Amino acid sequence: MIAYGIVFLVAAFCNANGEDAYLPSYIKQCSYNDAEFASCVKQQVVLSLPQFTKGIPELGVPSIDPIDLDDIIIDGNGLKLSLRKAQMHGLSTVHVTDLKVNLKDESFTLKFVANMSVSGVYNIDGRILVLPIKGDGDCLILVDNTEVEISSKLTPVKGKTGEHLKLVTPNYKYQIEKTTFQFKNLFNGNKELSDSMHQFANANWKQLMDDLAPPVIKQIVRTGVKAINKFFNKVTAQQLINDYPLD
């Protein structure tokens, strides 16, 4: 189902091209009329996710683990922070906690918990709460047990050789349990200042993540949905789902 979900997202950005590809062998069909359709899809998503997130080159579906993030620049509340050349790791090992697909309602909900990490090059200057912070170099941000819920319309769209599913107007919310920052070369490498700032920043992680998390999560959801929709765009609903009704 994650694979389905990811495919849905991707499809939104592409037009069906009529050259329908074969399903990757690790994705098995579920049956439209099966009373257990929803749980079948969930199982398929759970099983195929680790491979789907690594991309399906034959179908032009990109890898989403890691995800290259756009530069993030924050300037407000007395703090300037930039994060460049950033990559987000972790989507291939998410734990799917809930997946609901209802083709009749055209609804799709996916909940997962992930341990993610963001690596990149940072530059920081200003204050966190009252403490001055300054530095630039490599950084690693470990984001533990983040719960993400994506809900979307799952709409059939007509292609040349059949219908394709597509995730349209996805919404999301998230909750982060804990974040640990590792900034290299803080205060020009002064170990004492750096150690005490890390202690302070990690204890007050919410302060930084209030600014950092929204652009990162937004890019993760957008990239994931795009990949899913790309997949959906390449295979028809009939290929994905046994007994899919033709009208």
Ligand X SMILES: *[C@@H]1O[C@H](CO)[C@@H](O)[C@H](O)[C@H]1NC(C)=O
Stretch binding ligand X (CB under 6 A), from 17-25, 113-121, 152-160, 227-235: 113-121
Number of residues binding to ligand X, judged by CB under 6 A: 7
Contact between 95 and ligand X per CB under 6 A: yes
Question: Which of 17, 51, 115, 182 contacts ligand X by CB under 6 A?
Answer: 115
Stretch binding ligand X (CB under 6 A), from 12-20, 63-71, 108-116, 237-245: 108-116
| Long-range Cβ pairs for the range 100-107 (8 Å, 24+) | 100/38, 101/1, 101/4, 101/37, 101/38, 101/41, 101/42, 101/154, 102/38, 102/154, 103/32, 103/154, 103/156, 103/241, 106/153, 106/154, 106/155, 106/156, 107/151, 107/152, 107/153, 107/154
Contact between 114 and ligand X per CB under 6 A: yes
Contact between 206 and ligand X per CB under 6 A: no
Contact between 220 and ligand X per CB under 6 A: no
Contact between 113 and ligand X per CB under 6 A: yes
Beta carbon of residue 46, minimum distance to ligand X (angstroms, whole number): 12
Stretch binding ligand X (CB under 6 A), from 110-118, 120-128, 155-163, 224-232: 110-118
Beta carbon of residue 145, minimum distance to ligand X (angstroms, whole number): 5
Angle between helix axes 205-234 and 191-203 (nearest 10 degrees) is 70
User: Rounded to an integer, what distance in angstroms lies between the CA atom of residue 189 and that of residue 136?
Assistant: 10
Beta carbon of residue 188, minimum distance to ligand X (angstroms, whole number): 32
Which CB sits closer to ligand X, 48 or 146? 146
Stretch binding ligand X (CB under 6 A), from 112-120, 167-175, 215-223, 225-233: 112-120
Beta carbon of residue 71, minimum distance to ligand X (angstroms, whole number): 27
Beta carbon of residue 95, minimum distance to ligand X (angstroms, whole number): 4
Which CB sits closer to ligand X, 111 or 134? 111
Which CB sits closer to ligand X, 145 or 188? 145
Binding mask 133-152 for ligand X (x = CB under 6 A): -----------xx-------
Which CB sits closer to ligand X, 87 or 145? 145
Binding site for ligand X (CB under 6 A): 93, 95, 113-115, 144-145
